[in-house]
Structure 1
Amino acid sequence: MKVLLYFEGEKILAKSGIGRALDHQKRALSSVGIDYTLDAECTDYDILHINTYGINSNNMVKKARKLGKKVIYHAHSTEEDFRNSFIGSNQLSPLVKKYLISLYSKADYLITPTPYSKELIKGYGITVPIASISNGIDLNRFERSNEKEKKFRDYFNVKTGQKVIICVGLYFERKGIIDFVELAKQFPEYRFIWFGHTPMYSIPRTIRTIVKEDHPKNVEFPGYIKGDIIEGAYSAADLFFFPSYEETEGIVILEALASRQQVLVRDIPVYKGWLQDKVNCYMGTTNEEFADLIEALIEDKIPNTCDSGYEVATQKSIERIGHDLKKIYEIVLNEKNIVRK
């Protein structure tokens, strides 16, 4: 078995969750001994496993069909998570939905990260079989490290006893960036650091203004940082606060859980079945609830859920994901097992 992993615009999307999903797929396949290639010109593969939905992605599907190859579409994207992102995203989202339906319907099988995103896509009327498989997490990479934590503290000049709250995400309203900044205003004694980057020309003016100038002194936007510093931040911070309104999974949450970090998220449907309030994380809905929880968690007034959160991450290790992907590949290669509904 040989798989062609195709990822259009890899350099552009490398800083996003989808970009990290590709890296996880490569590791997952290697962990179970599946041969793969990233060469789009390759023709001696058995399955095209495609991750993106640009024009070239569409052409790759057409090419694969002409070659008689099987096609698996990794449905990372939905209309719902396209909204409230780039300039004009809300106006374009109905067209994006139609385009996604057209693309996804051409596959032999769909893979999507969570049961929630699976139900969304089924709701589009797509009849292609769908499997829910997490994007996975590299547990070793996010194992707590004193050296990495020191690099983070040194880089940001974190003082002894200073409380730090972090988030990782693109500069999208959907990600809850406005709420993150509003809550920071209520806690001037804490540092709030938002890791991540999005080209300024692509996001609405309100978000550009927040990132560039309209935020309190205790909020920092250092941009996209990778390696030891961000990995040290995950474990050294006092809280990972992710107020996103819509996700298909949220790789950054898995990264925080794998770091044994305390996680606070918005109570949204995507977490149903794998995150549980007061068990492996804390959940809120309004800024008032978030404010109460932030203060209680930072000041140790309520129990932390770090150990239970880590157990969630272990269930989504890259090795486990490799076995899940292998099962789907085998089903697709044995086409008689595919039942279209």
Structure 2
Amino acid sequence: MKILLYFEGQNVIGKSGIGRALSHQKRALASAGIEYTLDPSATDYDILHINTYGLKSYHLARKAKKMGKKVIYHAHSTEEDFRNSFVGSNQLAPLVKKWLVGLYGMADHLITPTPYSKKLLRNYGLKQPIAAISNGIDLKKYYPDEYKEAAFRKHFHLSETQKVVICVGLFFERKGIIDFVEIAKKMPEYTFIWFGAVPMFSIPANIRLIVNKNHPANVLFPGYINGDLIEGAYSGADLFFFPSYEETEGIVVLEALASQQQVLLRNIPVYQGWMQDQQNCYMGNTNQEFEELIRQLVNHRLPNLTLAGFKTAQAKSITEIGQELKTVYQAVLQLPYDHQIYSKVTK
């Protein structure tokens, strides 16, 4: 069994959660002993596992079907999580949904990160088998490390006693960036750091203004940072606060859990079944609730849930995901030739 993993637009979205999902897939397949290639011109593969949604992805899927190959589409994106992101995203969202449904409809099998996103796909009318498989997490990479934590503190000139709240995400309204800054304004004694970046021309003017200058001095936007600094930030901060309004999973949440960090989330449907308030994380709904919870958490006035959170991450480790993907691949290879799908994509 050989898999062609395909990811279009690495230079554009490679730093997003989808980009990290591809990295996780490569390691997951390696851990399960599954041979794979990243070469889209290859022909000696059995299954095309495609992660992206551009024209090149579409044409490669058509080519694979013409060759009689099985196609798996990894449904990382939905209309819901496209909204409130880029300039014009809300106006384009219905067209994006139509495009996604067309692409996903070409597949023999779909994979999506959570039961919540699976439910969304079913509501789109998609009939193929759908597996809800986490994007996974590299536990060793995010295990707390004193050296990395010290490097993080030194880089941002933070004292050992300075309380720090972090978030990781693109500069999207959907991610809760406006709330993050508004809450920080009420807590000038704490440092708030938002890691992540996106081309500034692609986001609405109000978000550009917030990032460029309309934020208090205790809010930092250092851009996209990887390696020891971000790994040290995850475990070395006092709290990971992720006020996102919509996700298909949220790889950054898994990263924070693997870092054995306290986690504060907005109570949204995607977390149902794997994140539970006051069990492996804390949840809020309003800025007032978040403000109160942040003060309690960074001052250790609530039970520490990091061990329970780490156990959640363990269940979604790279090796676990590798075995789940292997199961889906084996099932797809046993699927009968689907003349209806073949005819649809070769017209």
> Residue 164 of structure 1 aligns with which residue?
164
5+ residue gaps, structure 2: 341-347
> Residue 181 of structure 1 aligns with which residue?
181
> Residue 118 of structure 1 aligns with which residue?
118
Are positions 1:98 and 2:98 aligned together?
yes
Q: TM-score, normalised by structure 2?
A: 0.97
**TM-superposition CA deviations, 1:190-222 (whole Å, max 9, x none):** 000000001000000000000000000000000
**TM-superposition CA deviations, 1:234-265 (whole Å, max 9, x none):** 00000000000000000000000000000000
Q: Is the 8 A contact 1:165 1:239 kept in 2?
A: yes
SS of alignment partner, residue 142 of structure 2: coil
Cα RMSD between the aligned structures? 1.1
Pairwise CA distance, 1:14: 1.3
State the distance in 1 between where 2:301 and 2:64 align: 57
Q: Is the 8 A contact 1:171 1:198 kept in 2?
A: yes
SS of alignment partner, residue 303 of structure 1: coil
Are positions 1:249 and 2:266 aligned together?
no
Are positions 1:289 and 2:280 aligned together?
no
Pairwise CA distance, 1:336: 4.4
- Code of the aligned partner of 2:222: P
Percent of matched pairs sharing the same residue: 65
Are positions 1:75 and 2:86 aligned together?
no
State the distance in 2 between where 1:5 and 1:270 align: 26
> Residue 65 of structure 1 aligns with which residue?
65
State the distance in 2 between where 1:11 and 1:42 align: 21
1:148-297 equivalent positions in 2, closer than 5 A: 148-297=148-297
State the distance in 1 between where 2:251 and 2:243 align: 14
The alpha-carbon distance between structure 1 residues 2 and 96, as it changes in their structure 2 partners (threshold 3 A), is same
State the distance in 1 between where 2:225 and 2:336 align: 46
**TM-superposition CA deviations, 1:162-216 (whole Å, max 9, x none):** 0000000000000000000000011000000000001000000000000000000
State the distance in 2 between where 1:84 and 1:55 align: 23
Q: Is the 8 A contact 1:152 1:232 kept in 2?
A: yes
SS of alignment partner, residue 241 of structure 2: strand
- Code of the aligned partner of 2:205: R
Q: Is the 8 A contact 1:331 1:337 kept in 2?
A: no
Q: Is the 8 A contact 1:280 1:308 kept in 2?
A: yes
State the distance in 2 between where 1:98 and 1:241 align: 33
**TM-superposition CA deviations, 1:298-340 (whole Å, max 9, x none):** 11111121110000000000000000000000000001499x9
Are positions 1:45 and 2:45 aligned together?
yes
State the distance in 1 between where 2:331 and 2:69 align: 14
Q: Is the 8 A contact 1:109 1:130 kept in 2?
A: yes
Q: TM-score, normalised by structure 1?
A: 0.98
State the distance in 2 between where 1:156 and 1:67 align: 53
State the distance in 2 between where 1:149 and 1:302 align: 23
State the distance in 2 between where 1:212 and 1:310 align: 35
- Code of the aligned partner of 2:47: I
> Residue 302 of structure 2 aligns with which residue?
302
State the distance in 1 between where 2:208 and 2:10 align: 24
State the distance in 1 between where 2:221 and 2:337 align: 49
State the distance in 1 between where 2:63 and 2:249 align: 30
Pairwise CA distance, 1:160: 2.1
State the distance in 2 between where 1:250 and 1:224 align: 17
State the distance in 2 between where 1:69 and 1:244 align: 38
Aligned residues: 339
State the distance in 2 between where 1:302 and 1:234 align: 19
Deviating runs (4+, > 3 A) in structure 1?
none
5+ residue gaps, structure 1: none
> Residue 344 of structure 2 aligns with which residue?
none
State the distance in 2 between where 1:122 and 1:260 align: 34
SS of alignment partner, residue 111 of structure 2: strand
State the distance in 2 between where 1:142 and 1:298 align: 20
State the distance in 2 between where 1:280 and 1:160 align: 26
**TM-superposition CA deviations, 1:87-121 (whole Å, max 9, x none):** 00000000000000000011000000000000000
Q: Is the 8 A contact 2:153 2:160 kept in 1?
A: no
State the distance in 1 between where 2:199 and 2:260 align: 31
